């Protein structure tokens, strides 16, 4: 009887020909995050047990849920022993829930539930409760092995990182953009994080904050390439030439162009932002049209349909919230105009733009780091 974790991945199974590619990506992600032996089985993935493994698996996109328990042979007596072994020290009621993909096994699921259930009653004196048991014993009968567990843990869901391709994700240090990055990862994107920074009293703190955010995101992705792009010279130029009400839009268009340059170097196919409609002045439809039209690539804002409370809830769940609310703000927030434009017009804005050289230089001067936590 071997301690194992059995991983289920839901959505992959429906993807026809791509299935093997998806499974490969997920297996690699699991190997990397756990450092354990991983085996592909029919419709599931088996992982060698380790003490802290659940914490790691909980963060891997593509995993729907997993069971932590034991593996036995396809023999009812072994299954019974495994069931007893997997029970916690204290409980009053239980139920057994079997799924059987091995149609040659002599008992069907209901019969297995009954036999194992009766055995547990006999050995422990505890009662069966089908509606609201303290413990559920899950049994998965496969062709060559059987998994038995009472710890069933939900995963992140979604798709394995990388199956959709690479994207540039603009990470500001606020609450929203790390959540947007996570949402993109969960739909199969591998993110390259990009942050634009300036030189203020607080900039070392801001950079540290961005690095910690990238580390948090790396817990989900395995490794995050982080670009720190100096924005100071461009910002000065913009302040010199552009009326205050339009500056934020011009900043963000400049960021878009540079994001596209990085995307080209990194083979990325879209730009992710933390924009949320109507949340701040730059996020009206008119403004987003003007900002996004500076990008050749599709700009995808995963938070567009969410309320702030929903975003915060995810931020807390994924562990970025406490980092995001550290007081150091990114390069743009400290100089928001008193009356920013909310109905920008493209011609109005483009007449002030001639930052090609500065943007190229900023990209050349940017610092690149592969951030990883394991
Ligand atoms: P956030 O909470 O992510 O900062 P926000 O609601 O405060 O978002 P803005 O600050 O206007 O809105 O930024 C909108 C989006 O533009 C951010 O979510 C991010 O994707 C991008 N962005 C803004 N500033 C920067 C920056 N300095 N570096 C990288 N991306 C940025
Ligand atoms: Mg912000």
The verdict on the CB of residue 324 being under 6 Å from ligand 1 is: no
Q: What fold characterizes domain 2-154?
A: VC0802-like (3.30.2130)
Whether residue 212 is predicted with pLDDT greater than 70 in this model: the reply is yes
- Which pLDDT score is estimated for 26? 96
Q: Which ligand is nearest to the CA of 206?
A: 1
- Which pLDDT score is estimated for 333? 59
pLDDT category of residue 335 using cuts at 50, 70 and 90: low
Helices (H) and strands (E) in the chain, counts: 13, 14
pLDDT category of residue 156 using cuts at 50, 70 and 90: very high
Atom 9 (ligand 1) nearest CA = 275
Distance 280 CA to ligand 2 centre (A): 9
Distance 175 CA to ligand 2 centre (A): 7
Distance 248 CA to ligand 2 centre (A): 11
User: Which atom of ligand 1 approaches the CA of 231 most closely?
Assistant: 27
Distance 171 CA to ligand 1 centre (A): 6
Region of poorest pLDDT, from 174-178, 279-283, 304-308: 279-283
Distance 18 CA to ligand 2 centre (A): 37
- The predicted model scores a pTM of 0.94
Report how far residue 324's alpha carbon sits from residue 312's, in angstroms, rounded to the nearest whole number: 10
- Which pLDDT score is estimated for 282? 76
Q: Which two tokens stand for residue 292?
A: 């996004």
Query: Do the domains spanning 2-154 and 165-372 agree at the CATH topology level?
Result: no
The count of other CB atoms within 10 Å of the CB of residue 108 is: 12
For 165-372, CATH number out of 3.40.1390.10, 1.10.3720.10, 3.40.50.620, 3.30.360.10 equals 3.40.50.620
Atom 7 (ligand 1) nearest CA = 174
- In this structure, are residues 43 and 26 in contact, taking their beta carbons and an 8 Å threshold? no
Say what percent of the chain tops pLDDT 90.
Answer: 86
The pLDDT tens digits of the residues spanning 245-301 come to 999 999 999 999 999 999 999 999 999 999 999 877 778 999 999 999 999 999 999
Longest dimension (CA), the chain: 83
- Which pLDDT score is estimated for 331? 62
Distances from the Cα of 126 to the Cα of 10, 82, 85, 284, angstroms: 33, 17, 15, 61
- Which pLDDT score is estimated for 332? 64
297 CB-side CA count, 13 A:
24
Q: Which ligand is nearest to the CA of 176?
A: 1
Region of poorest pLDDT, from 14-28, 72-86, 90-104: 14-28
The verdict on the CB of residue 182 being under 6 Å from ligand 1 is: no
Q: Which ligand is nearest to the CA of 255?
A: 1
- Which pLDDT score is estimated for 278? 82
Q: What is the residue extent of each domain of the chain?
A: 2-154, 165-372
Region of poorest pLDDT, from 78-87, 138-147, 331-340, 352-361: 331-340
- In this structure, are residues 277 and 304 in contact, taking their beta carbons and an 8 Å threshold? yes
Distances from the Cα of 38 to the Cα of 31, 43, 65, 329, 331, angstroms: 6, 14, 16, 42, 44
Whether residue 336 is predicted with pLDDT greater than 70 in this model: the reply is no
- Mean pLDDT for 228-232 is 95
Say what percent of the chain tops pLDDT 70.
Answer: 96
The verdict on the CB of residue 174 being under 6 Å from ligand 1 is: yes
Atom 8 (ligand 1) nearest CA = 176
Distance 310 CA to ligand 2 centre (A): 17
Q: Which two tokens stand for residue 370?
A: 């592969």
The verdict on the CB of residue 226 being under 6 Å from ligand 1 is: no
- Which pLDDT score is estimated for 100? 96
pLDDT category of residue 140 using cuts at 50, 70 and 90: very high
The verdict on the CB of residue 196 being under 6 Å from ligand 1 is: yes
Distances from the Cα of 257 to the Cα of 192, 292, 353, 354, 374, angstroms: 15, 10, 11, 12, 33
- Phi and psi for 372 in degrees, rounded to 5? -140, 155
Atom 23 (ligand 1) nearest CA = 172
The pLDDT tens digits of the residues spanning 264-274 come to 999 999 999 99
Atom 18 (ligand 1) nearest CA = 274
Q: Which ligand is nearest to the CA of 197?
A: 1
Whether residue 121 is predicted with pLDDT greater than 90 in this model: the reply is yes
The pLDDT tens digits of the residues spanning 24-72 come to 999 999 999 999 999 999 889 999 999 999 999 999 999 999 999 999 9
Q: Which two tokens stand for residue 369?
A: 């780091």
- Which pLDDT score is estimated for 11? 67
- Mean pLDDT for 185-210 is 91
The verdict on the CB of residue 171 being under 6 Å from ligand 1 is: yes
Distance 172 CA to ligand 2 centre (A): 6
Whether residue 13 is predicted with pLDDT greater than 60 in this model: the reply is no
> With 0-12 CB in 10 A as exposed, 13-18 as middle and 19+ as buried, what is 351?
exposed
Q: Which ligand is nearest to the CA of 324?
A: 1
Region of poorest pLDDT, from 96-105, 153-162, 198-207, 364-373: 198-207
Q: 270: closest CA among 363, 370, 180, 196?
A: 180
pLDDT category of residue 179 using cuts at 50, 70 and 90: very high
Pocket test for ligand 1, best of 169, 170, 171, 172 (most atoms within 8 A of CB): 172
């Amino acid at each position: 009887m071997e301690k194992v974790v059995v991983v289920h991945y839901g959505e992959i199974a429906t993807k026809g020909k791509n299935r093997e590619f998806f499974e490969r990506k997920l297996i690699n992600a699991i190997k990397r995050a756990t450092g354990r032996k991983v085996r592909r089985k029919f419709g599931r993935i088996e992982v060698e047990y380790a003490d802290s493994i659940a914490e790691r698996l909980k963060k891997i996109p593509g995993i729907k849920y997993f069971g932590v328990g034991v593996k036995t042979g396809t023999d009812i007596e072994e299954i019974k022993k495994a069931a007893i072994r997997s029970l916690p020290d204290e409980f009053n009621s239980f139920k057994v829930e079997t799924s059987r993909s091995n149609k040659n096994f002599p008992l069907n699921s209901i019969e297995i539930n009954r036999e194992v259930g009766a055995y547990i009653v006999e050995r422990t004196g505890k009662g069966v409760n089908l509606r609201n048991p303290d413990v559920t014993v899950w049994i998965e009968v496969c062709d060559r092995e059987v998994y038995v567990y009472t710890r069933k843990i939900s995963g992140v869901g979604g798709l394995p990182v990388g199956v959709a391709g690479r994207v540039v994700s603009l990470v500001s240090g606020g609450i929203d953009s790390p959540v947007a990055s996570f949402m993109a990862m969960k739909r199969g994107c591998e993110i390259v994080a990009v942050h634009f920074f300036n030189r203020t009293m607080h900039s070392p703190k801001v950079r540290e904050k961005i690095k910690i955010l990238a580390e948090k995101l790396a817990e989900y992705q395995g490794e995050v390439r982080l670009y720190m792009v100096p924005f100071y010279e461009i910002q000065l130029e913009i302040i010199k030439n552009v009326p205050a009400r339009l500056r934020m839009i011009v900043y963000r268009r400049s960021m878009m162009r540079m994001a596209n340059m990085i995307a080209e170097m990194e083979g990325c196919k879209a730009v992710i932002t933390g924009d949320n409609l109507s949340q701040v002045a730059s996020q009206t439809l008119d403004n987003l049209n003007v900002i996004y039209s500076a990008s050749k690539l599709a700009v995808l804002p995963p938070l567009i349909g969410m309320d702030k409370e929903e975003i915060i809830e995810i931020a807390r769940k994924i562990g970025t919230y406490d980092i995001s609310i550290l007081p150091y703000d990114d390069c743009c927030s400290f100089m928001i105009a008193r009356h920013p434009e909310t109905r920008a017009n493209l011609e109005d804005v483009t007449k002030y733009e001639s930052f090609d050289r500065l943007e190229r230089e900023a990209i050349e001067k940017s610092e690149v780091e592969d951030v990883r936590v394991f």
